[in-house]
Copies of this chain bind each other. A is one copy, B any other.
Amino acid sequence: MSQSTRRGFLSLGVASGALLGALRPSSLLAQAQTVARALGRGVSAYGERSRFETTTRLLRDSRHPEASSSRTPLQDLQGTLTPSPLHFERHHAGIPDIDPSSHRLLIHGLVDRPLELSLAELRRLPAESRIHFLECSGNSGALWREASVAAAHTTRGTAQSTHGLTSSGEWEGVPLSVLLNEAGVRPEGTWLVAEGADASRMTRSVPLTKALDDTFVAYGQNGEALRPAQGYPLRLFVPGWEGNISIKWLRRIEVVDRPYMTREETSKYTDLLPDGRARRFTFVMEAKSVITHPSGGQRLTNPGYHQLRGIAWSGRGRVQRVEISTDGGRSWEVAELQGPVLPRAHTRFRLDWTWDGSEVVVQSRCIDETGYTQPTREELIAARGLRSGYHNNAIQSWKVSPDGTVENIYV
């Protein structure tokens, strides 16, 4: 936090009695009573969170444990990282139970030297680690499908339910370029097909240019081995591109001379336009942001100082700027970004704000380093119509009512 912001906070002139609570002798006594007087619990081999912490992922339907997706509680997250137990999930045939000692990665097709690699062999190779977001292209899809509703219509919805199919982590693995160079890609090889070991054989085509650029084969997540729900023991990681192409439980990479038009890039994960044509191979997750405080389902307990907080990201690189409106989009103010601002990573933004207790609509928009600006809902619909649920990166609007309740609103 910059010194000027600290002054900004102080210059809000919040009385200690109003915001911080004046010190009362009775409170002092209560404080003294909370101190432990006996030896506490000892150390443990693998730690757990406090029994008072109950934040969870949101399951699509908790009555169906085989459900195919779960969402990250963005409104509860601190900082920029998503703890592994809360990383969103989207499975096409559930989570396979893979013994890493028998798992192999096959690299074949249009290569000079087909390779088959064990985990131990992969871990011995040159490694790198990167902090990146991963977002499902269906994130915020329901908002798009509801987008035809009348403006000023509000619906229930939280940052978790509307935007929780994006998460962030530090991923470690081997640059795919190392493996492909070792295998020797033949001149006619221009794409690759990556296949998962789950029962759906989740399969996507990846252009060789991206594969040789910043794509890697990941075995680590936030310091540990990948979690099973994120592809243990091995996944493809394609930074900035729609999540499903970062094939989980990766077993096979075949170098080919064209995209393979698999199910997941034809009947699914394409975007039907108003004229009946479909956008396909819409890889990049464009610049997007969401305010997480205040956000749907929360309640501001009283007027006065609040810090507007949220996350922004772009599949094209760094977040350049985030702007916030508290008047439904008429005026915009530049938010403060928490450094370091990393390419293709969740970036935390904050803005000091005094809520006067009236009804307000808060919005954020992300501008990335290419100059691209996150569109309004109206602009998105004008360009893409209403037939697709993928790649909705429209500006999100939250309405704060005078009683402090916060709801999603279509403006």
Contact = CB atoms under 8 A, between A and B. Distances in A.
Interface stretch (A171-179, A273-281, A321-329): A171-179
Given A34-B251, A35-B197, A86-B47, A127 B40 contact: no
Contact of A94 (B39, B84, B117): B39
B68 A23 contact: no
B28 A116 contact: yes
Contacts of A95: 40-42
Nearest to A348: B129
A27 interface: yes
A215 to B, nearest CB: 12
Interface string A306-321: 1101000000000000
A66 to B, nearest CB: 4
Interface string A106-118: 1010000111111
Nearest to A170: B79
Interface in A47-88: 47-53, 55-57, 59-60, 62, 64-70, 77-87
A77 B116 contact: no
A116 B66 CA distance: 47
Copies in the complex: 2
23 contacts: A9-B178, A19-B124, A27-B104, A37-B199, A40-B93, A41-B66, A42-B68, A42-B94, A42-B95, A43-B65, A43-B67, A45-B62, A45-B70, A47-B87, A48-B85, A53-B232, A77-B224, A78-B219, A78-B223, A78-B225, A81-B170, A82-B223, A125-B307
Contact of A79 (B5, B66, B129, B229): B129
Given A16-B182, A42-B95, A224-B83, A23 B201 contact: no
